[in-house]
């Protein structure tokens, strides 16, 4: 996995921890999120002007979107968050709206909402991580680095995690690992086991990307003791299996996760590995599931799957012209290294060098 892709995953998975419960435990957390949704829906029905309940309902809808990969929940989240702000401008609605913007790849909008939230509660360190996520996605790496440096906060989970994201974006894996380990220590001090596990998993990822899968295992085992059902943990376990040459076992893990969660990203990963192993029927099934999932969000007017769908087509070697259009549209919303490299790869695929003898002459 390239550094830019790891940085993207780190930011996305951290964002899932900053707001609400997230989906580290898929089945239990879905049930818990549904309970929260039902509870806050009842609250706003009984007290239509209870603006904090609308903000909390918006956070629950965002978590539901993360877990189900269904964009309808994003629309519902935006609606109730706007209602909360209409009744009374408040920090929780501002912060969650910023999180919705980051998740949906509306990063410029996210920065504006983060500014509003920071004006209401500047001491909240999670805003540092959210701001860094948006800036990195926009390709503003040095600015993101300055935000971390200017935070003035030490030994804080969110700030150290943000420092790790910046280091990944700058291709400094050792620095990223140190930051994620510091983030894990901060989470441990707060007895926040899920956050601690996430940070350990991200630190392990830096070893995997450096070709040192064996060194990643102790960190993954430590995370397993804290959060054994973490999806991020299972994905990194599969990456270790790949690195060890156990591709069939890795595919089994990816495919199980994809089929269990319906996550089109995991279907795309399963497609690539199944095709590499020559399992054409499985590869075709995973390709269709990934394509359908990514397209569903686009059909709903969302932009956060543009890059993923373009990458899927590029990896499959088909619909390259559409891949180019998707990648160019994606660049309107995010300009990080991953977005730039995708366009370059698509252009290279569309215009391969002419290696014939005549061209050489």
Listing DSSP states for 122-176 in one string gives: TT-THHHHHHHHHHHHTT-HHHHHHHHHHT---S-HHHHHHHHHHHHHTT-HHHH
What sign does the dihedral 163-122-126-143 (CA atoms) show?
negative
**In the prediction, which pLDDT does 21 show?**
34
Q: Select from 229, 187, 188 the least CA-distant residue to 18.
A: 187
**In the prediction, which pLDDT does 31 show?**
86
Domain residue ranges in the chain: 1-245
At the topology level of CATH, where does 1-245 sit?
1.25.40
Q: Which residues neighbour 48 within 8 Å (Cβ) at sequence distance 6 or greater?
A: none
Cα angle 351-336-16, degrees, rounded to a multiple of 5: 125
Residue located via tokens 């629950």: 60
| Gap between the Cα atoms of 69 and 297, Å rounded | 8
CA dist 254 to 23, 235, 270, 308, 331, Å?
16, 7, 6, 17, 28
Q: Which residues of 197-234 are buried (b: 16+ CB within 10 A; e: fewer)?
A: bbbbbbbbbbbbbeeebeebbebbebbbebbeebbbbb
> DSSP secondary-structure letter at 332?
T
**In the prediction, which pLDDT does 357 show?**
53
Burial of residue 255, with CB atoms counted within 10 A of its CB: 0-12 exposed, 13-18 middle, 19 or more buried: buried
- For the chain, the maximum distance between any two Cα atoms, rounded to a whole number of angstroms, is 80
**In the prediction, which pLDDT does 155 show?**
80
Q: Select from 279, 269, 210 the least CA-distant residue to 234.
A: 269
* Tens-place pLDDT, residues 266-305: 999 999 999 999 999 999 999 999 999 999 999 999 999 9
* Tens-place pLDDT, residues 135-155: 999 999 999 999 999 987 778
Q: Which residues neighbour 80 within 8 Å (Cβ) at sequence distance 6 or greater?
A: 44, 54, 55, 57, 58, 61
Contact criterion met (CB below 8 Å) for 211 and 173: no
**In the prediction, which pLDDT does 7 show?**
60
Q: What are phi and psi of 333, to 5 degrees?
A: -110, -30
| Gap between the Cα atoms of 39 and 279, Å rounded | 45
CA dist 298 to 70, 85, 270, 315, Å?
11, 27, 21, 19
Q: Residue ranges of the chain with pLDDT lower than 50?
A: 19-28
């Amino acid at each position: 996995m390239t550094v830019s892709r790891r940085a993207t995953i780190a930011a996305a998975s951290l964002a899932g921890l900053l707001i609400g419960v997230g989906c580290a435990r898929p089945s239990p957390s879905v049930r818990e999120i549904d309970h929260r949704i039902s509870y806050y829906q009842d609250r706003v029905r009984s007290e239509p002007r209870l603006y904090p309940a609308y903000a909390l309902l918006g956070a629950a809808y965002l978590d539901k979107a993360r877990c189900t990969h269904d964009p309808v929940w994003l629309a519902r989240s935006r609606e109730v968050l706007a209602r909360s702000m209409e009744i009374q401008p408040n920090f929780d609605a501002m912060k969650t709206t910023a999180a919705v913007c980051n998740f949906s790849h509306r990063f410029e909008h996210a920065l504006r909402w983060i500014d509003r939230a920071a004006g209401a509660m500047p001491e909240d360190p999670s805003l540092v991580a959210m701001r860094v996520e948006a800036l990195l996605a926009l390709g503003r790496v040095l600015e993101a680095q300055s935000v971390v440096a200017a935070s003035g906060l030490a030994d804080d989970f969110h700030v150290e995690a943000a420092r790790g994201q910046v280091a990944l974006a700058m291709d400094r894996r050792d620095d990223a690992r140190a930051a994620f380990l510091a983030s894990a220590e901060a989470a441990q001090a707060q007895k926040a086991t899920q956050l601690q596990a996430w940070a350990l998993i991200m630190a392990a990822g830096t070893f995997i990307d450096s070709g040192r899968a064996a060194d990643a295992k102790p960190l993954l085992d430590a995370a397993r003791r804290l959060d054994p059902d973490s999806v991020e943990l299972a994905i990194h376990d599969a990456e270790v299996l790949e690195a060890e040459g156990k591709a069939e076992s890795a595919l089994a893990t990816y495919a199980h996760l994809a089929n269990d969660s319906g996550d089109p990203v995991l279907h795309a990963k399963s497609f690539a590995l199944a095709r590499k192993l020559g399992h054409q029927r499985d590869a075709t099934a995973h390709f269709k599931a990934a394509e359908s999932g990514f397209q569903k969000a686009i059909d709903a007017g969302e932009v956060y799957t543009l890059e993923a769908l373009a990458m899927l087509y590029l990896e499959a070697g088909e619909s390259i012209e559409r891949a180019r259009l998707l990648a160019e549209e994606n660049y309107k919303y995010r300009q990080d290294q991953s977005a730039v490299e995708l366009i370059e790869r698509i252009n290279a695929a569309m215009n391969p060098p002419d290696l014939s003898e005549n061209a050489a002459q």
